[in-house]
Amino acid sequence: MAKFIKIYQDNPNEASIKKVVDVLRNGGIIIYPTDTVYGLGCDITNSKALERVARIKGIKLEKADFSFICNDLSHISDYVRQIDTATFKILKRALPGPYTFILPGNNDLPKDFRKKKTVGIRVPDNNIALQIVAMLGNPIVSTSIHDEDEVIEYSTDPELIYEKWQNKVDLVIDGGYGDNVASTIIDLSGHEPVVIREGKGSLDIL
């Protein structure tokens, strides 16, 4: 049975963030708020936890397109090949914000992602998510929690999310109501930006 923790976005309690980070360090899976929909996440360096997330999503880990949640742009350079000035300017304009950017991966990717040519990077505009990653010291891998209901694509109420997911994950954060619009996905791995999915983030940044 998962723990259920209330954390306030405006002023996240450090002791509560530490509880979340302890769960992640022990290979646990969390559900946490972002600036878009609630996400399912684990420590990027923990293979067993990554396998579990892939199983929950019903996919093979090597086929999974998980995003890396970073807490600022400096984290990004750990996993991404040298990016040009134009790309950097787009990232600077957009982040933190409701975007997933697909960028060319480098050789320092965690071992479970080495075969990937590109990675999806997120720096959400949400203090809870950013402080978790900052305290953990490395990104968390993330995927959104879809709802099976065809009308409601994403669950927004943390209590309902907890009810549904309590036996699959180790901790659910109540960070207030989530959004029901996912992030805008933009591929910056080629010569020109390509919009893969238009979501919450405006395209004015391009």
Q: 25-34, 52-61, 76-85, 150-159: which has the highest mean pLDDT? A: 25-34
Residues 52, 143: Cα–Cα separation, whole Å:
12
Domain map (residue ranges) of the chain: 3-201
Q: Which of the listed CATH numbers 2.60.40.420, 3.40.50.10490, 3.20.190.10, 3.90.870.10 matches domain 3-201?
A: 3.90.870.10
d(CA 19, CA 92): 31
Query: What's the rounded Cα separation, in Å, for the pair 196 and 184?
Result: 8
Q: Which residues have a Cβ under 8 Å from the Cβ of 52 and sit 6 or more positions away?
A: 29, 42
pLDDT given for residue 163 in this prediction: 95
The phi, psi pair for 141, rounded to 5°, reads -90, 145
Per-residue model confidence as pLDDT tens digits over 176-206: 999 999 999 999 999 999 999 999 999 999 9
Residue 150, pLDDT score: 66
Contact 13, 132 (CB under 8 A): no
Provide the mean pLDDT of the chain. 94
Check residue 72 and give its pLDDT.
92
pTM of the model: 0.95
Rounded average pLDDT over 146-155: 74
CB within 8 Å of 190: residues ≥ 6 apart: none
**How many C-beta atoms surround the C-beta of residue 168 within 10 A?**
16
